[in-house]
Amino acid sequence: MAILADANTRILVQGITGREAATFTYESMQYGARIVAGVTPGKGGQFIHGIPVFDTVALALRTHPCDATIISVPARLVRDATFEALSNGLKLIVVVTERIPRRDVVAMLEQAASVGARIIGPNSLGLIAPGKTRLGMGGGSAETVRRAYRPGSVGVISRSGGMMTEISNLLTQSGIGQSTCISIGGDPIIGSTMLDLLPLYEADRETQALVLFCEPGGTMEERLAAHLKAHGSRLWIIAFVAGRFTDRNQGVRFGHAGAIVEGGRGSPASKAEALREAGILVAEKFSQITDLLREHIGSIV
């Protein structure tokens, strides 16, 4: 069973007339996502791949009720787009835009929390429930998503959108399916962390294990480890910590904006140590992820 979204989830796309949004809308529909409406102010009345476009979220929802929205608008407009979605009752918001001012992100998260909504991202490729739906652009084309992802019982949380697909493809090639795969975003401030999402996977009885793709910077993994050390989890959790070369090369610029290491805090070595102490299985090599799953869980699909 998927978390957050499934085949019945009705999806709105804010910024649907943009080139990137129009492309992932088409590919997501080809995969089976139920995209029912789009919004671009000033372009109401148009159609994108047969999807009606409205000037406002309120107008779109009046005739096309939705459960979730994907926001793909310029960074300076994301705050207003998010507030518009929240004020119209949308409870799941996936923000694919990057380089959003931090004060805007903080305001978005505070408003979402006040109305009980969840934000994935920003700077996220979205989420995929294999065989059911996709919100965002993870995996690229529908053909690639079908090839790299397959339904199963292993959840995937990744700070990197690209590595979400790499991990899922590794699992698929080993005959291991996935329940829900989430690209949480690589920015320093994001809406849903690994710890935020853990209870959802734990509540899904069909998810047996969870694979984490971790990166240098921040303390997200350390906070997850502290929680697991205190409370444990029914899930087997396997982690791969990328960027070990940064432990020897302090000051190297590494990928995402969230990759900021301060002293020993946020380094790959400190993350791996904290995760191990919490009982998480840490893969020394990327290819070892499937070996650890097989060794500790046995037959898993």
CA dist 27 to 35, 92, 192, 244, Å?
A: 11, 20, 25, 35
Instruction: Reply yes or no on whether 296 is catalytic.
Output: no
Q: Which two tokens stand for residue 161?
A: 């959108």
Q: Could you give phi then psi for residue 214, rounded to 5 degrees? A: -110, 155
130 upstream amide cis, omega within 30 of 0: no
CA dist 242 to 89, 138, 239, 291, 292, Å?
A: 38, 19, 10, 18, 17
How far is Cα 99 from Cα 84, in angstroms, rounded to an integer? 20
Say which amino acid occupies 138: G
Q: Point out the catalytic residue in the list 49, 227, 231, 256.
A: 256
Q: Which two tokens stand for residue 187?
A: 């920015």
HSE value, Cβ hemisphere, 13 Å, CA-based, for 175: 5
Torsion from C-alpha of 163, 4, 114, 36, nearest 10 degrees = 100
How far is Cα 181 from Cα 169, in angstroms, rounded to an integer? 11
Q: Write out the catalytic residue numbers.
A: 256
